[in-house]
Amino acid sequence: MLRIVFMGTPEFAVPTLETLLTWSGCEVVAVITAPDKPAGRGRQLAESAVKQAAAAHGLPVLQPTNLKAPEFQQELRGYAADLQVVVAFRMLPEAVWNMPRLGSINIHASLLPQYRGAAPINWALIQGEKQTGVTSFFLQHEIDTGNLIFQDVVPIADDDDFGALYEKLKAAGARLALRTVQAIAAGTAPSIPQTTGQELKSAPKIQKETGRLDAAQPAAALVNLVRGLSPIPTAFTQLPDGRTLKIFKAKALDETKPAAPGTWATDGRTYLRLHTGQGQLDLLDVQLEGKKRMPVVEFLRGFNAAVLNAPTV
């Protein structure tokens, strides 16, 4: 029976852990996850989603603050894992990923080598991709560059946002992880070097400014930005009065009455649109700072459209 140490932190990793627990050919002997962190208004310590799942199954949990610490590595070595499975965890030092006799594998939410980095789901949407997927690969020195094992393609629907695609890839990743572990156990897993001759798109960590709308861009590109950041961390713009407006859903419209990018159009009742470099961005679901999220029709009922410096019709 294959002895596995599982490493992961967010909810994205939970289905993979639980799927591995269903296979009789392996035993998850320990789970490594992030330390508890303050959260919420009370700043009370919150456990990661993976820790909660591990506790529900009675699994030993390690929460190292320093993966290079000798005491942690000694404890990890004591579990005598044949393989480590990593999903949405931090970068591992070589002494850790190279510890098991079969190495360590990672499940990444893109079709590597495309979208290496911390936010592959977001960037696939922002770039307007029509498909993405999940990849299993062996960990090596450079992040997301190890030899490929398997890949599964996941289509991106026109109405998918980050939240919807996250759910699809979370489930696909769990299925792929089990298939990969079973192949490794059987000795049939491929190990294919990643190609580097093509133009690669990266997936760096999302920063706050990533979500700021640039009205000089085409409306279609801004729709993709909104999709890629909804429901979190959310695309946003500043209204003329300085308040921040978050945008959860929008669509692109052809320009019927051209105006300078960054200016607004509204009837004060049913629509709120931003003129862009090409077309209009029709806002459908928004949240004004200090207020709750709501459809734009509801938002306009309590909003003084005069602050937009836009004529109402």
DSSP-assigned letters across all residues of 151-203: EEEEE--TT--HHHHHHHHHHHHHHHHHHHHHHHHHT----BPPP-SSPPPB-
Q: What are phi and psi of 282, to 5 degrees?
A: -90, 110
| CB atoms inside a 10 Å sphere around CB 190 | 9
Per-residue tokens: 253: 């419209």
* Residues in contact with 200: Cβ distance below 8 Å, sequence separation at least 6, in sequence order: 113, 114, 116
Does 111 count as an annotated binding residue?
A: yes
CA atoms of 255 and 269, how far apart (whole Å): 20
Does 113 count as an annotated binding residue?
A: yes
- So what's the pLDDT on residue 310? 60
- So what's the pLDDT on residue 313? 44
pLDDT, tens digit (0-9, with 9 covering 90-100), for 150-168: 999 999 999 999 999 999 9
Does 120 count as an annotated binding residue?
A: no
Name residue 306's amino acid. Answer: A
Q: What are phi and psi of 47, to 5 degrees?
A: -85, 150
Does 284 count as an annotated binding residue?
A: no
Which ranges of the chain have pLDDT less than 50? 313
Token pair 């929460």 in the structure block, residue: 63
Can you say whether the dihedral through the CA atoms of 97, 142, 110, 149 is positive or negative?
Answer: negative
CA atoms of 90 and 13, how far apart (whole Å): 12
- So what's the pLDDT on residue 311? 53
CA atoms of 224 and 206, how far apart (whole Å): 15
Name residue 309's amino acid. Answer: N
Domains and CATH numbers, the chain: 2-186 (3.40.50.12230), 208-308 (3.10.25.10)
